[in-house]
Structure 1
Amino acid sequence: MLKAVFRTIAFLAILFIMLYVGMNNTHDIKFFFPLAGTTEKTPIHASAALIYFGVFAIGVLGGTVLTVGTGSGRGGRSASKAK
């Protein structure tokens, strides 16, 4: 229980930092990501806050997929023991 509360508070702190950065970086920037290939020649022109949010969202989704992927094995074993 305490671990879940700590994780929630940490996640809200990260969201606050993202909001704070977004509020203070409203100007347009050129976003280059050469590994993707398409942005090397034609960069993305968008506000810094929007690009920051996009990178953050991709990180959260990636972390969620990795966490759910590793947690499913334990649930399967405990369910088989219950039978």
Structure 2
Amino acid sequence: ALFVSLQSPYNRMNIGGIEVRLRQLGKRLGLNKVHPHKFRRTLATMAIDKGMPIEQLQQLLGHRRIDTTLQYAMVKQSNVKIAHRKYIG
């Protein structure tokens, strides 16, 4: 298991327990809206920023439809400008 309880017998944590722990950690660090899904979105955004083809990201995330993958990744405006200069001139 990726996440286990902090006390013996160290059982697998359920999603609710993970969400609570991440929220607590976020508060201690002064961060808002920390949740497991944010890591998935961050992975998608970073992969796109580094040039990973959207079709490969779709497979990695296990999405049936590419539209779902496109909703996950946040595209940086600076990367759009760089791509525009590279491909359009």
TM-score, scaled to structure 2? 0.27
Instruction: Name whichever structure is richer in strand by fraction.
Output: 1
Instruction: Name whichever structure is richer in helix by fraction.
Output: 1
TM-score, scaled to structure 1? 0.28
Highest Rg: 1 or 2?
Answer: 1
